[in-house]
Amino acid sequence: MSTKIAIVTGANSGMGLATTIELARQGYRVIMACRSEKRGQQALEEALRQSGSTAIELMLCDLGSLESIRHFAQSFRERYDTLDVLVNNAGVVMLKRQETSDGFEQGIGINHLGHFLLTLLLIEPLKAAEQGRIVNVSSGAYKAGKIHFEDPHLNKGYNPIKSYAQSKLANVLFTRVLARKLADTRITVNCLHPGAVGTSIGVDRNTGFGTRIMALVGKLPFFLSPEDGAQTAIYLATSPEVAGVTGRYFYQQKDQELKVHALDTATAERFWTWSEEQVVLRPEEKL
């Protein structure tokens, strides 16, 4: 039996690192998709040490750059024919509005559009797996979210809650439409709320500002550890209990009913088309 292969985005810290370590412990070959080579290498050493596995590797991928995502996907496909698990974990919350290298507002750009493109570029190796699984880390913040079609990149009236909630609703809508489009394949797609986790999500990607603040927040008693926060993602990635489940939203390893606005098919389809246009999806890459 060949070793199963998993990709975890944002694998250099927090839930991404915890997910990497646990998947490696379970015998997966794990590719850590990280933006920073320095932080990625440090996390790789930690993951190898904690997991006891030698089957973990680092591949650079900046989800804030369409060019970087395309390079990563091409490099992966040149080296591997199959992909069993894709955990779209990376996420940001920006206190002030910032843009990706492609001019996207970072919340929607990294949390959704980057993962949207990455996932679609990896569909073929996922199809080639015995049972490919896509796991999207969303958040209960989707409940406060709205897709601001009139200003999706929040050029006017930006605030971090508005940005984050929109991007987490985007994760849910993406999950539902993708599951429908892949209904005739062996690939499942699910999303989850990890709970309130003390991670580095509020840290500025460029300056590191907020690192000490988030470290203190993570020590508060009502925050989950990254290991606890990662449990539902690991469950969706590995458990035989959800082998045939797709298009669902989970919390604490249990299927949850979505709020009405997240079930709006017309909004989800419109948003999918908008996403295709934003990442300049090529005809052969569309589902």
One of 3.90.550.10, 3.20.20.10, 3.40.50.720, 3.20.10.10 is the CATH number of 5-285, namely 3.40.50.720
Residue 224: the pLDDT is: 73
Give domain limits for the chain. Answer: 5-285
What is the separation of C-alpha 195 from the centre of its chain, rounded to a whole number of angstroms? 15
pLDDT tens figures, 10-46: 999 999 999 999 999 999 999 999 999 999 999 999 9
Residue 25: the pLDDT is: 97
Whether 249 is a known active-site residue: answer no
Greatest Cα pair distance in the chain: 54
Overall size of the chain counted in residues:
287
Find the catalytic residue in 80, 142, 158, 164: 164
Per-residue pLDDT at 205 exceeds 50: no
The residue among 27 and 215 whose pLDDT is bigger is 27
pLDDT tens figures, 113-163: 999 999 999 999 999 999 999 999 999 999 999 999 999 999 999 999 999
Measured over the CA atoms of residue 98, residue 13, residue 254 and residue 185, the dihedral's sign is positive
Of the pLDDT bands very low, low, confident and very high (cuts 50, 70, 90), residue 201 is: very low
